[in-house]
Amino acid sequence: MNIVKRALDICLKPRETFIEIEREKDSFAALYRDYILWLAALPPLVKLVVGLFLHPRSGDLAGGRLAATLTGALLEYICFLVGVYALALAVDALAPYFGGERDEDRALRLCAYGLTPSYLASAVGALPGLAWTAILGIYSIVLIVIGLPRLMRCADDRALPYGASVAVAMAVIALVTSLLTSRVLAQP
């Protein structure tokens, strides 16, 4: 899979791309290895580069700031990886309530590809002066709503309420990971 082409396709022509994704049979490991690991790495890497090289303070890199910056980036990366799976579990668990079919693999594919704008927006938003672009991550909710009928087999008229429930799950996961990271990073 060409990761750049897939990321562009899911953002620019989601309906056609979800038809392709529906036919795919990527395993859990292959999906993480070939797509999620790479996209989830973008925001922490950009924050790491910005933190270390664009805003260096003399003598700071050798001390605690380097360790804190690396720890923060690694923790954020792990939270992204776990968050995708947690969201997939929520999407799968919610399926019967909206007339959909439970399928953990399809739920993971939906979340992996549907969250593409969130990863990209978070990476761009880490650059100085561009934090406002993080709002573009909301497009992920739109993509998930578009993909729900295809991948989770719910009726088209149930996709919007299903998507709203998934958005709530996304917010809860984001809140929990934010609290976790702020607590861990605040420790001396």
Q: Is the pLDDT of residue 63 over 60?
A: no
- Both tokens assigned to 126: 């880490």
* Res. 53: pLDDT tops 80: no
- Confidence bin at 178 (pLDDT 50/70/90): confident
pLDDT interval class at 39 (50, 70, 90)? very high
Rounded distance, CA 6 to CA 129, Å?
Answer: 28
Provide the pLDDT for residue 51: 76
CA distance 86 to 169: 9
Longest dimension (CA), the chain: 59
Residue 14 main-chain phi, psi, to 5 deg: -65, -40
| CA contacts within 13 A on the Cβ side of 136 | 15
- The answer for residues whose C-beta is within 8 angstroms of residue 107's C-beta and 6 or more apart is 88, 89, 91, 92, 95, 151, 152
pLDDT band, very low/low/confident/very high, at 81 (cuts 50, 70, 90): very high
122-167 pLDDT, tens digit per residue, is 888 888 888 888 888 899 999 999 999 999 999 999 999 999 999 9
Can you give the pLDDT at residue 163? 97
What 8-state DSSP symbol labels residue 130? Answer: -
Q: What is the mean pLDDT of residues 92-100?
A: 97
Return the DSSP state at 154: -
Number of domains in the chain: 1
Is residue 61 pLDDT above 60, yes or no? no
Q: How far is the C-alpha of 2 from the C-alpha of 14, rounded, in Å?
A: 16
**What average pLDDT does this structure show over 79-106?**
96
pLDDT-based confidence at residue 35 (cuts at 50, 70, 90):
very high
Higher pLDDT, 183 or 91: 91
CA terminus-to-terminus distance, the chain: 43
Give 15-33 pLDDT, tens digit per residue: 999 999 999 988 899 999 9
Q: Is the overall model pTM greater than 0.85, yes or no? A: yes
| Structural domain harbouring 51 | 3-186
